[in-house]
């Protein structure tokens, strides 16, 4: 590797370096203690320790080249290398390209300048072709990259992201070294006092990643895998290191284990292009989207410190501006003080104001509702305004119908585009829907919220409740006049208090649209919903069948859903959404949520509210595995431990509460509380997001903490919560109070006191409202790892439950075999990320046993690691045949069940089962005409059938196999008649030769090798005679073979089975037997093998799978690259995986 020329003092350097070559102006040196026996002495160990621990910017690669100035003690390092071959390549380049050129210079200083300039040019050229230029310090990163590649020998596709100096704790002993973070692995290397430590942890094996402490260090990063815990400490910047680890673990686990719903950011589609900067940007982007609850497609561009003029406080509020593709957002530094969301769709102009001492670097953003936002103290204001104007132009170009209105028409347009005139409580419906509705009355959409059509009357206390509604409406109108009434309103603590009191029924749907910003989607896509309804209605699929089943279970107590009008609207919204987002389709609980949305919003508005909830506010909730809901359940459990430690201590297993809370998250309490109370919780959810659900759940548990701590069992605890939630009332709601949903729980108990919903919500904000979005997102990262690994463990246990009854392999061995199988699949995914076949191999939506599959190359690797049938070079051929045999559906992939089944036969099967498996491996479909071994010397008929069936024995006796052969064939004939099962196809001569070769290869290096070869020679001769007899008898039309065999006997007392190539007939046609007619059956082969005790002993001897599994764990991560992108398996290296 070429280095930026850096001066070194040769006098001091000679203590650590030995000169190997010197030529004119260049010196090649080897680091003392490397490359010779000196590495084993104290000096070599000390140098190695210094290299690792100190690494004080010295070139610690074992070889280097210096540029020397004659007569000067100052030299410059210009190249380094990890191996002798690498440094010699650089040396040869210097000799061929520079050494002869330097003679033209007269001045030594000119020579030095010329060489340094040339080396810098080489580095620039090399850097431009690599990703090192993306790092903050390309020089040091390139040096770390070389070390990483040499120390761990990964394929080139294993992209290094960053590296840190730190300690890895081994018991109570810290090992100083280097931590390397790559796209698929966390690696640690240490060399201290002659002891080398290599540690490789795949991100996909990480089950827990956390910051904690131990008895020695107050701040460490702990990484937990299935088998071990690893602690790392003494980072220069532990916050940054943990953040990058968190991002890498999240990206890799979701890419490899959750590809059902996870789509990488556009910049992260190619894992080999991910950089540290990308990961930091991704973390900031996700926080931005979560904080303002924006669509996933939004990409953050700038984050700038600034101040915003807030008219309600008559001052500038300090905070940060966030700009993205379609939004300008502001968040005050004081949490909850003031937030603003400005869609560029609402912006009219963006202008720079005059810069003054009172208003430094100001800009004005004017919106359609005749409101202006003034930002000051913006750095690089000109570039910001230029970028904002460019994005504004792009947004308007993509929405011409909404943004072509002139400023003088703003008053008419903003009721259409954004300015919900909440004081007048009116919204203009989509004009493009009118004609469609006239043409097709079947899909006539509701233009009013269902609650306005199906209202209640004649209720006790209705007048009082309506007066309370009027008071709330008055408070909201006052707030609108001061803080704004559009989606761009100032969102402060005051509006949060109004929301906690309960939004008035008349404003609820409108404010839900504004708080969730569904209003922007609604107006950006005129006619979209109506077209979706027209396309989707009438289509039949699994989703529509499930929707039809659940239609009448959605708020059946409400009159709106006892009428076909409400049912039809619910059907249209759910069907349209299932058509829009087939990845989600329809999920149970969506019907309950959509029913409530339809009560307070028009049909099209309810659809876009559902889009906002499913795709932005509750991401990953509504899908096949409800990963998002389970992650938030785990977050909730962690919050319980922090906020309610006494309750967590009493209820050791919080899974009971988790099982209850799943419906809390999926239905936002709508299914377990009276409707008039639950809608107040939904109000808070639309304003504060999932944070509101967490804090409300904690408030419920805190209110019942004493009773829960005194509960007898889980059932009693569930009953306490159910009774409490059923008695949460809303006395101020104009809706009728619903009856007790869980009245049967209270038959034998004291009446449960009534809890007012507004009091409960107020307590939730006062006691548990201090959790920030950033804190929740960090806990989500941590718990997502746990949830995905729990799913993987569930998959594993279900697969084992299916496979264990069908095999004789010990359950613990089978579990380790599954881990090897899965790891082999994942290793291919690491470096074949863009292969469509790889993506198809893991599908979480499939049945458990079909989720992981491997291809032929992966199967061959595993076969060579764990198969007891090792045949030298022939093992790979055998593995390919085994794969073809198991690939019954011809998709070039096999499941774990098939792999475990074939291994079970090899290790635990009876002799006849093993021989049958071997037999199948040498007939189609396992053996093909294009088989890799088809060019074997044994393909031509090289076996002698003209030898006598008389075998010489050591004691001089002989065994006559003629009578035995006759009896054997008769017995086989009788057995065939008795058996009704389907017979295996007969084996022709070519297949038989391959069968013999496999047996011959299997006996190599066996302790009884000589006896086995003698036995297989005997059996082969016997089977060749059987095949020849069968051929002749079929050609003669008779079954008389005894005389033929007697005639063929000669005076020879030996039998030669495998003849030398030199002695074989040069013309295969001279062989007397035609391959197409010659054949033997499985019964022939089995019966013949049973006549030799040594062969019986070989196939019946007990075999241990565990040693193979132990070796396989190491061998899977032993790479020997041959210039290809795929690793080939080699001998295990002394490294610790996991």
Cβ count within 10 A of residue 427: 22
Q: Is 1008 helix (H, G, I), strand (E, B) or coil?
A: coil
- What per-residue confidence (pLDDT) applies to 260? 56
Give the global pTM: 0.77
Long-range contacts of 865-869 (CB under 8 A, 24+ apart): 865/820, 865/1108, 865/1111, 865/1112, 865/1115, 865/1116, 865/1129, 866/817, 866/820, 866/903, 866/1105, 866/1108, 866/1109, 866/1112, 867/903, 867/906, 867/1108, 868/906, 868/907, 868/1103, 868/1108, 869/906, 869/1002
**Phi, psi (deg, nearest 5) at residue 495:** -70, -30
User: Could you give the CA distance from residue 191 to residue 869 in angstroms, rounded to a whole number?
Assistant: 39
User: Could you give the CA distance from residue 1099 to residue 907 in angstroms, rounded to a whole number?
Assistant: 9
User: Could you give the CA distance from residue 164 to residue 262 in angstroms, rounded to a whole number?
Assistant: 29
**Phi, psi (deg, nearest 5) at residue 815:** -65, -45
> β-strands 958-960, 950-952: how paired?
antiparallel
Q: Which residues contact 105 (CB under 8 A, 6 or more apart)?
A: 111, 114
Cβ count within 10 A of residue 94: 23
Enclosing H/E stretch for 648: helix 645-650
- What per-residue confidence (pLDDT) applies to 815? 94
* Sites in the chain below the pLDDT cut of 70: 9-15, 33-60, 101, 104, 124-136, 259-269, 401-443, 455-465, 736-751, 832-843, 932-982, 1032-1076, 1117-1138
Sign (positive or negative) of CA dihedral 330, 335, 338, 341:
positive
Cβ count within 10 A of residue 151: 18
Contact 337, 493 (CB under 8 A): yes
Contact 948, 1052 (CB under 8 A): yes
* 178 strand-pairing partners: 165, 189
Q: Which residues contact 283 (CB under 8 A, 6 or more apart)?
A: 243, 246, 247
The DSSP letter of residue 678 is H
User: Could you give the CA distance from residue 9 to residue 3 in angstroms, rounded to a whole number?
Assistant: 16
User: Could you give the CA distance from residue 690 to residue 117 in angstroms, rounded to a whole number?
Assistant: 58
Sign (positive or negative) of CA dihedral 332, 338, 339, 345:
negative
User: Could you give the CA distance from residue 315 to residue 307 in angstroms, rounded to a whole number?
Assistant: 9
Using left for φ > 0, alpha for ψ between -120 and 50, and beta otherwise, residue 204 falls in alpha
The DSSP letter of residue 613 is I
- What per-residue confidence (pLDDT) applies to 441? 44
pLDDT digits (tens, 9 = 90+) for 673-727: 999 999 999 999 999 999 999 999 999 999 999 998 888 888 888 889 999 999 9
pLDDT digits (tens, 9 = 90+) for 308-323: 999 999 999 999 999 9
In terms of Cβ atoms closer than 10 Å to its own Cβ (0-12, 13-18, 19+), residue 1114 is middle
User: Could you give the CA distance from residue 176 to residue 188 in angstroms, rounded to a whole number?
Assistant: 10
User: Could you give the CA distance from residue 26 to residue 4 in angstroms, rounded to a whole number?
Assistant: 15
User: Could you give the CA distance from residue 456 to residue 465 in angstroms, rounded to a whole number?
Assistant: 12
* 221 strand-pairing partners: 211, 232
Contact 29, 18 (CB under 8 A): yes
Q: Helices 675-688 and 757-768 sit at what angle, rounded to 10 degrees?
A: 30
Buried b (16+ CB within 10 A) or exposed e, 595-628: bbbbbbbbbbbbbbbbbbbbbbbbbbbbbebbbb
Nearest of 349, 353, 390, 387 to residue 370 by alpha carbon: 349
Contact 281, 274 (CB under 8 A): no
Nearest of 840, 841, 886, 847 to residue 863 by alpha carbon: 886
- What per-residue confidence (pLDDT) applies to 23? 81
User: Could you give the CA distance from residue 293 to residue 273 in angstroms, rounded to a whole number?
Assistant: 28
Six-digit token string for 644:
């309610």
> β-strands 1136-1137, 195-202: how paired?
parallel
User: Could you give the CA distance from residue 611 to residue 197 in angstroms, rounded to a whole number?
Assistant: 51
Cβ count within 10 A of residue 193: 11
Q: Is 163 helix (H, G, I), strand (E, B) or coil?
A: strand
- What per-residue confidence (pLDDT) applies to 738? 57
Six-digit token string for 112:
């030095």
The DSSP letter of residue 75 is E
Angle 926-932-933 (CA atoms, 0-180°, nearest 5)?
Answer: 90
Q: Is 1098 helix (H, G, I), strand (E, B) or coil?
A: helix
């Amino acid at each position: 590797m070429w280095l930026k020329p850096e001066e070194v003092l040769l006098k001091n350097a000679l203590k650590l370096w030995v000169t190997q070559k010197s030529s004119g102006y260049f010196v090649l040196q080897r680091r003392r203690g490397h490359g010779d026996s000196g590495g084993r002495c104290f000096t070599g160990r000390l140098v190695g320790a210094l290299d690792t621990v100190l690494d004080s910017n010295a070139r610690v690669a074992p070889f280097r080249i210096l540029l020397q100035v004659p007569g000067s003690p100052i030299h410059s390092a210009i190249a380094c290398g990890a191996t002798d071959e690498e440094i010699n390549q650089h040396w040869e380049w210097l000799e061929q390209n520079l050494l002869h050129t330097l003679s033209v210079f007269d001045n030594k200083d000119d020579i030095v300048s010329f060489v340094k300039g040339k080396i810098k040019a080489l580095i620039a050229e090399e850097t431009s072709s690599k990703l090192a230029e993306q790092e903050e310090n390309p020089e040091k990163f390139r040096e770390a990259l070389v070390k990483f590649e040499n120390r761990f020998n990964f394929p080139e596709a294993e992209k290094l992201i960053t590296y840190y100096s730190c300690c890895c704790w081994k018991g109570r002993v810290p090992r100083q070294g280097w931590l390397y973070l790559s796209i698929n692995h966390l690696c640690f290397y240490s060399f201290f006092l002659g002891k080398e430590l290599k540690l490789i942890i795949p991100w996909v094996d990480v089950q827990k990643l956390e910051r904690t402490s131990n008895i020695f260090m107050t701040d460490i990063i702990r990484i937990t895998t299935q088998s071990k815990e690893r602690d790392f400490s003494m980072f220069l910047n532990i916050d940054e290191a943990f953040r990058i680890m968190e991002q890498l673990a999240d990206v890799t686990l979701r890419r490899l284990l959750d590809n059902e719903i996870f789509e990488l950011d556009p910049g992260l589609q190619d894992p080999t292009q991910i950089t540290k900067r990308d990961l930091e940007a991704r973390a900031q982007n996700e926080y931005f989207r979560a904080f303002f609850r924006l669509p996933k497609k939004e990409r953050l561009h700038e984050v700038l410190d600034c101040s915003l003029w807030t008219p309600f406080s008559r001052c500038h509020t300090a905070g940060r501006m966030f700009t993205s593709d379609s939004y300008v957002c502001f968040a005050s530094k004081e949490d909850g003080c003031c937030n603003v969301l400005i869609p560029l769709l609402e912006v009219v102009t963006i202008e720079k104001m005059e810069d003054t001492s009172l208003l430094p670097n100001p800009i004005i953003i004017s919106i359609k509702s005749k409101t202006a936002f003034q930002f000051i103290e913006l750095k690089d204001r000109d570039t910001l305004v230029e970028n904002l104007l460019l994005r504004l132009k792009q947004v308007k170009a993509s929405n011409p119908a909404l943004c072509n209105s002139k400023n003088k028409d703003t008053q008419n347009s903003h009721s259409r585009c954004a300015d919900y005139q909440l004081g007048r409580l009116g919204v203009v419906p989509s004009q493009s829907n009118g004609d469609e509705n006239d043409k097709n009355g079947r899909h006539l959409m509701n233009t009013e919220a269902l609650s306005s059509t199906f209202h209640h009357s004649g209720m006790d206390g209705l007048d009082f409740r309506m007066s309370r509604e009027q008071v709330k409406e008055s408070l909201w109108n006052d707030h609108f006049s001061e803080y704004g009434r559009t989606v761009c309103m100032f969102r402060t603590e005051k509006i949060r208090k109004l929301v906690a009191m309960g939004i008035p029924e008349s404003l609820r749907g409108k404010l839900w649209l504004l708080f969730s910003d569904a209003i922007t989607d609604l107006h950006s896509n005129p006619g979209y919903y109506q077209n979706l309804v027209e396309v989707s209605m009438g289509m039949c699929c699994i989703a529509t069948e499930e929707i039809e089943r659940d239609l009448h279970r959605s708020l059946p107590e409400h009159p709106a859903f006892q009428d076909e009008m409400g049912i039809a609207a619910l059907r249209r919204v759910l069907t349209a959404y299932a058509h829009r987002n087939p990845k989600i389709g329809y999920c149970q609980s969506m019907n309950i949520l959509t029913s409530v949305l339809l009560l307070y919003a028009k049909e099209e508005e309810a659809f876009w509210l559902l889009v906002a909830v499913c795709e932005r506010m509750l991401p990953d909730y509504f899908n096949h595995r409800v990963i998002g809901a389970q992650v938030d359940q785990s977050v909730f459990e962690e919050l319980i431990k922090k906020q309610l430690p006494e309750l967590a201590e009493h209820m050791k297993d919080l899974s009971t509460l988790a099982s209850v809370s799943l419906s809390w998250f999926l239905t936002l309490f709508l299914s377990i509380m009276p409707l008039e109370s639950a809608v107040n919780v939904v109000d808070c959810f639309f304003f504060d997001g999932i944070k509101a659900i967490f804090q409300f759940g904690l408030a419920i548990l805190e209110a019942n903490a004493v009773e829960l701590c005194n509960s007898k069992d889980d059932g009693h605890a569930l009953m306490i919560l159910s009774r409490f939630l059923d008695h949460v009332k809303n006395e101020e709601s104009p809706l009728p109070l619903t009856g007790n949903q869980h009245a049967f729980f209270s038959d034998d108990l004291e009446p449960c006191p009534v809890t007012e919903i507004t009091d409960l919500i107020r307590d939730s904000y006062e006691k548990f409202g201090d959790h920030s979005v950033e804190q929740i997102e960090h806990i989500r990262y941590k718990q997502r790892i746990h949830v995905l690994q729990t799913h993987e463990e569930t998959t594993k246990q279900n697969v084992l439950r299916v496979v264990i009854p069908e095999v004789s392999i010990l359950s613990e061995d089978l579990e380790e075999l599954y881990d090897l199988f899965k790891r082999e699949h994942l290793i291919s995914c690491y470096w074949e990320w863009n292969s469509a076949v790889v993506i198809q191999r893991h599908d979480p939506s499939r049945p458990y046993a079909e989720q992981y599959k491997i291809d032929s190359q992966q199967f061959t690797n595993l076969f060579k690691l764990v198969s007891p049938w090792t045949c030298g070079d022939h093992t790979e051929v055998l593995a390919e045949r085994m794969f073809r045999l198991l690939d019954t559906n011809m998709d070039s992939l096999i499941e774990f069940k098939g792999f475990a089944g074939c291994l079970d036969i090899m290790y635990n099967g009876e002799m006849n089962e093993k021989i049958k498996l071997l037999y199948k491996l040498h007939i189609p479909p396992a053996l093909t005409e294009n088989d890799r071994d088809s060019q074997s010397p044994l393909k031509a008929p090289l076996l002698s059938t003209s030898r006598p069936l008389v075998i010489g024995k050591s004691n001089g006796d002989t065994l006559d196999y003629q009578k035995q052969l006759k009896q054997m064939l008769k017995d086989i004939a009788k057995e065939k008649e008795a058996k009704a099962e389907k017979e295996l196809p007969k084996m022709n001569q070519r297949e038989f030769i391959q069968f013999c070769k496999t047996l011959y290869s299997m006996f190599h290096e066996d302790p009884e090798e000589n006896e086995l070869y003698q036995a297989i020679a005997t059996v082969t001769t016997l089977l060749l005679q059987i095949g020849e007899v069968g051929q002749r008898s079929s050609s003669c039309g008779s079954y008389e073979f005894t005389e033929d065999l007697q005639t063929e006997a000669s005076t020879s007392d030996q039998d030669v089975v495998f003849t030398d190539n030199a002695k074989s007939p040069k013309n295969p046609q001279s062989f007397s037997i035609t391959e197409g007619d010659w054949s033997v059956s499985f019964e022939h082969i089995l019966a013949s093998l049973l006549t030799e005790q040594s062969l019986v002993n070989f196939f019946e001897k007990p075999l241990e799978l565990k040693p193979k599994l132990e070796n396989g764990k190491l061998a899977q991560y032993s790479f020997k690259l041959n210039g290809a992108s795929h690793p080939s398996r080699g001998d295990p290296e002394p490294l610790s995986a996991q």
